[in-house]
Amino acid sequence: MGHGAIEAPVRCAVVGYGAAHVFGRAHGRWIDATPGLEWVAVCDRDQERLEAAREEFPGLETYESVTEMLAHADIDMVSVVTPHFTHAPISIECMEAGKHVVVDKAMCLSVAEADAMIEAGRRNGVMLAVFHARRHDGNFRAIRQAVQSGEIGEVFHIELSAGGFRRPRDWWYSKKALGGGAFYYWGPHAIDWVLDLVGERVVGVNGFYHKLVWHEFDQADQTRAIMRFENGCVADVSFSHVAAVGKPLWRILGTKGGILDTGAGGNQGYQEEITAPPGGSFQMVQTDGEERVETDVPYLESRWLDYYIGVADHLLEGGPVPVTGEDGRRTIAVFEAAERSSQSGQTERVAYEMEAGS
């Protein structure tokens, strides 16, 4: 359901202006670049970060607490750009106050939290959208276009891998209770890409988690989820801090060819730019019988702004939510199934995947 009763501009606040990746700043700039949206407020517990926001964007209202902001700021929507363990409570507080919410990835820590967030949105008649804007990376846009146009036939096998051999950084992402686990850093992008690309229900997940080297941290050193889809496609997604030998980012096999992509330059300019020009290419092989043709396919433009354009279209014109709470919950449910499987040694089902209408 759309929320076309709102009048432009939609007044927006950003919660979280941390220095680590400056994602809050990026969200604010994307909001301000979107017709129909206006960035008016920022909230952060750190006075130094609020001062940084005021210096760069003098017109912003600044608040030290979400409760204070909700009580005093004239806002319609809140973008939550804070550590994962705070996503659910902050989002729910904002929705209970009648505000629309965009919550950064990972949506939350558990399916139970995702359920509570979705219910809060329904109960209060407001939008809950999950910020999976990396669907608009130039390399993924080009890969999706090639797959959807049938360039390599029917896709039956996907490998997606990232990481290296390095000690995790000592910060909240590396604490399982705060970040969710090793998969919750890069994994939300990866699982969302696969779910979007395949477009089928997941019938089972096998997970493999290894804890072998970095014992000072309480999360896995390597995580792997093998997803089997209703149409028979299999996707193998892994993230590692103990991979001394790397792999390409993407390896995709279809009945008429395949795709190999290192991902180099695929999202160059992310966080700093509103959009970005193509930054590289992927290798595509097409087959005709035993003959094969190899082509370097240029990436497309990275269009991260399209996410907030979709948000504005939903709120002002009644268009679809760009990534719904239910979409975000699917990613979290895959993480949970993979971890259960790593413990049980069995294939695990994904919450909600096989229910009617999911």
Q: Shortest CA distance to 205 belongs to which of 326, 106, 107, 344?
A: 344
B/e letters for 122-151, b = 16+ CB within 10 Å, e = fewer, are eebebbbbbbbbbbbbbbbbbbbebbeeeb
Residues of the chain with CATH 3.40.50.720: 10-131
Residue pLDDT tens, the chain, 358 long? 456 568 899 999 999 998 877 899 999 999 999 999 999 999 999 999 999 999 999 999 999 999 999 999 999 999 999 999 999 999 999 999 999 999 999 999 999 999 999 999 999 999 999 999 999 999 999 999 999 999 999 999 999 999 999 999 999 999 999 999 999 999 999 999 999 999 999 999 999 999 999 999 999 999 999 999 999 999 999 999 999 999 999 999 999 999 999 999 999 999 889 999 999 999 999 999 889 999 999 999 999 999 999 999 999 999 999 999 999 999 999 999 999 999 999 999 999 987 744 4
pLDDT of residue 271: 86
Question: What pairs with residue 276 in β-bridges?
Answer: 302
pLDDT of residue 192: 98
CB 300 within 8 A of CB 142: yes
Its CATH architecture, for the domain 10-131, is: 3-Layer(aba) Sandwich (3.40)
pLDDT of residue 5: 64
- Structural tokens at position 282: 């992927």
Q: Which CATH number fits domain 135-303+333-344: 1.10.1200.10, 3.30.470.20, 3.30.70.260, 3.30.360.10?
A: 3.30.360.10
Return the number of other C-beta atoms located less than 10 Å from residue 224's C-beta.
20
Residue 261 CA to residue 34 CA, distance in Å, equals 31
pLDDT of residue 20: 77
Residues of the chain with CATH 3.30.360.10: 135-303+333-344
Task: Output the 3-class SS for 41-92.
Answer: EEECCCHHHHHHHHHHCCCCEEECCHHHHHHHCCCCEEEECCCHHHHHHHHH
Sign of torsion, CA 25 129 333 93?
positive
Residue pointed to by tokens 């909240």:
172
Find all residues with CB under 8 Å of 216, minimum gap 6, and list them: none
Sign of torsion, CA 312 314 318 320?
positive
